[in-house]
Amino acid sequence: MRLVDRFIKYVKIDTESDPNSNTVPSTMKQKDLSKVLVNELKEMGLNAFLDDYGYVYCKIPSNVKRDVTPIGFVAHVDTSFDAPGANVKPRIIKNYNGSDIKLNDYITMNPKNSPALNLVIGDDIIVTDGNTLLGADDKAGVAEIMELASILVENKEIEHGDIYICFTPDEEIGRGANYFNHDWFKADFAYTLDGSQVGEIEYENFNAASAKLTFTGKSIHPGSAKNQMINASLVAFEFNSMLPTFLNPAYTEKYEGFNHLTNMSGTTEEATLQYIIRNHNKDIFNEQKETFKKIASYLNNKYNYEIVKLEINDSYYNMYEVIKDHMYIVDIAKDAIRNVGLTPITNPIRGGTDGARLTFDGLPCPNLGTGGFNYHGRMEFASINQMKKAVDVALEIVKIVAKKNANN
Ligand SMILES: [Zn+2]
């Protein structure tokens, strides 16, 4: 089975993860795909297994006598809960010419409402029937790593060191790195294949924290409230009004961070505000958190009791903090991208990745483009041409690493 057949087979398997579930993995149906992957790897003659947490592991042993740096590739099997993920009906459009694509009676996709289509004109692309997401995020990555494995197994003359593979569950709900077995996965570094346009290499992401504020007011009948009532909801407004106006996701891009109000509720007696805090720069990230503390303490002084309780928890950090001391990992990927005839594209991720968590847990792990676009929605699509290139990039990385050590 080749790349496209694999991809079509995988996207038809429903693997939606569930943020409200406390099981591991969050949905057992993710294992339906994981088991398929283990079987296919075994059919290739490789040693692969599915662990209790729903992670697939596989090692392709080195085929050379000299020491070669062991590296790894990682992708996630789950799909986002933002759009339906069951009964995916992929459709191939050959040689896409830039015109309207009628997905169904309600949804027509074109380069206007979906500018990423401009990047794939002339390509064979795969789209949905408009009722579900496609699941290229991240089954494009999964299929490409499977294809890489089969190429390495079939072409013994390609020299390589130990190659580790892992397919994780629950990336979309931020838990993909939780049970990653670092003791088993003995790569020096790895790449997640979980980006978008092929040629992308991502190694900077947000530093992230969440803040929860609980306001306790003083309630009294409004008819006799003069000089006595303190309305918790109004103090919550007061808090928000003291935050910097332009540190709002709706006003920011690229390396600009933000504080984003994600939830609010309130009565006179009690109100809560929840925010997420994001910045690529650790110092500014810390200043943003400091601002929250200063405003809270100002309000507590002003009202003369602990009117607001603030809880801040860090979620993840910018992987660049670690990667900056290992830039050869990025350089290898950039060389590989150039070797297959593309120009490397680097953009700061305005979010997090499992790679960030893995990086801080000791496995430096930048992210590579896979050829999938418009993630988490019904207009998601993948370019077959770009997916093939993504396999070429991964294969080139394997070759460069094997060669590097030959020269040392
Ligand atoms: Zn993804």
- Ligand 1 centroid – CA 140 distance (Å): 10
3 state DSSP class of 191: strand
Q: Are strands 381-383 and 207-216 parallel, antiparallel or unpaired?
A: unpaired
Tokens read off for 302: 């002003």
The dihedral region occupied by 122, where left means phi > 0, alpha psi between -120 and 50, and beta the remainder, is left
- Ligand 1 centroid – CA 245 distance (Å): 31
CB atoms within 10 A of CB 144: 30
- Ligand 1 centroid – CA 192 distance (Å): 9
Alpha carbon of 361 to those of 70, 177, 191, 316, 347: distances in Å?
A: 17, 9, 14, 11, 23
Q: Is the peptide bond before 138 cis (omega within 30 degrees of 0)?
A: yes
**In whole angstroms, what is the distance from residue 322 CA to residue 319 CA?**
6
3 state DSSP class of 167: strand
**In whole angstroms, what is the distance from residue 33 CA to residue 53 CA?**
14
**pTM of the entire predicted model:** 0.91
CA 38 to chain centre: 23
- Ligand 1 centroid – CA 389 distance (Å): 18
Partners of residue 93 on adjacent β-strands: 125
- Residues in Cβ contact with 339 at an 8 Å cutoff, skipping those fewer than 6 apart: 396, 400
- Ligand 1 centroid – CA 235 distance (Å): 39
Structural contact between residues 199 and 344, judged by C-beta atoms closer than 8 angstroms? yes
Tokens read off for 158: 């390609």
- Ligand 1 centroid – CA 380 distance (Å): 12
Angle value at C-alpha 226, between 223 and 233, nearest 5 degrees: 85
Query: pLDDT 10s per residue in the chain (408 long)?
Result: 799 999 999 999 999 999 999 999 999 999 999 999 999 999 999 999 999 999 999 999 999 999 999 999 999 999 999 999 999 999 999 999 999 999 999 999 999 999 999 999 999 999 999 999 999 999 999 999 999 999 999 999 999 999 999 999 999 999 999 999 999 999 999 999 999 999 999 999 999 999 999 999 999 999 999 999 999 999 999 999 999 999 999 999 999 999 999 999 999 999 999 999 999 999 999 999 999 999 999 999 999 999 999 999 998 999 999 999 999 999 999 999 999 999 999 999 998 888 999 999 999 999 999 999 999 999 999 999 999 999 999 999 999 999 987 655
Active site residues: 78, 171
- Ligand 1 centroid – CA 268 distance (Å): 42
3 state DSSP class of 133: coil
CB atoms within 10 A of CB 172: 25
Q: Which residue has the tokens 């088993």?
A: 184
